[in-house]
Amino acid sequence: MEKLRGTVTELRRGKTVSHNPKTGTSVIHAAVFRLDGQLVKIVSAAPLVIAEGQELLVVGKRRAKLFTAYAHRNLTTGQEGHEGWATRLLVTILVVTGALWLGGMMGGDYGVVFGIVFLALGVAMAWRSLEVVQALVMLRR
C-alpha cells in the first residue's frame, strides 16, 4: 500500500447504472486520470468530487502502469472517499455462510468442492475489504 499526492490532469469520468427489480438501482462511479504523470483509477459507489487541476491524495496499490486507489482525499475541497468495504464484507459473510451450509447439505465430494470454492472466493473478497480499511487508515494519518 502506498500514497500518491499530486495534481489531477487528463481526467475522465464514467458511471455504470444497473437496475434489479429485487435489489433496486445501483450506481458505480469511476474516474481515470493522471496524478503528476502517474495513471490512477478510482471506483466508488458515491459520486467522486474531483476536477481537473485539483490536488489529490490517494492510497492504494500500483499494478503495472496503473495505480488503483482504494481511498482518496481531495486536498483542494477536503472531500474524502473510498472504494467501499462494509457492504462487500457483509455480503461476503452471508454468501460464504450460505454456500458452506448448502455444501454441507449436498454432502460428499461435490459438497466439499462447492464449500472450498466459495470459501476461497469469500477470503479474496474479505481481503479486499481489509485492504480498503488499511487504505483509509493510511489516508487519515
The mean pLDDT of 111-123, rounded to a whole number, is 79
- What letters, b where the CB count within 10 A reaches 16 and e where it falls short, cover 93-112? eeebeebbeebeeeeeeeee
Please tell me the predicted confidence (pLDDT) of residue 53.
96
Residues 136 and 108 in one domain: yes
Calpha distance 41→63 (Å, rounded): 11
- Kindly report the average pLDDT of the chain as a whole number: 87
Please say if the pLDDT value at position 34 is more than 90.
yes
The mean pLDDT of 130-138, rounded to a whole number, is 87
The mean pLDDT of 67-92, rounded to a whole number, is 85
The mean pLDDT of 104-123, rounded to a whole number, is 78
* 3-state secondary structure at position 100: helix
The H or E element that residue 30 is part of is strand 24-35
Please tell me the predicted confidence (pLDDT) of residue 9.
96
Residues 95 and 76 in one domain: no
The mean pLDDT of 58-66, rounded to a whole number, is 93
Of 11-20, 58-67, 73-82, 113-122, minimum mean pLDDT range: 113-122
CA distances from 65 to 41, 83, 103, 139 (A): 11, 20, 40, 22
Calpha distance 119→103 (Å, rounded): 11
Residues 53 and 28 in one domain: yes
Please tell me the predicted confidence (pLDDT) of residue 95.
78
- Write out the residue range of the structural domain in which residue 57 sits: 2-83
Place of cell 476536477: 51
Residues 22 and 71 in one domain: yes
Cβ count near 52 (within 10 Å): 10
Residues 40 and 59 in one domain: yes
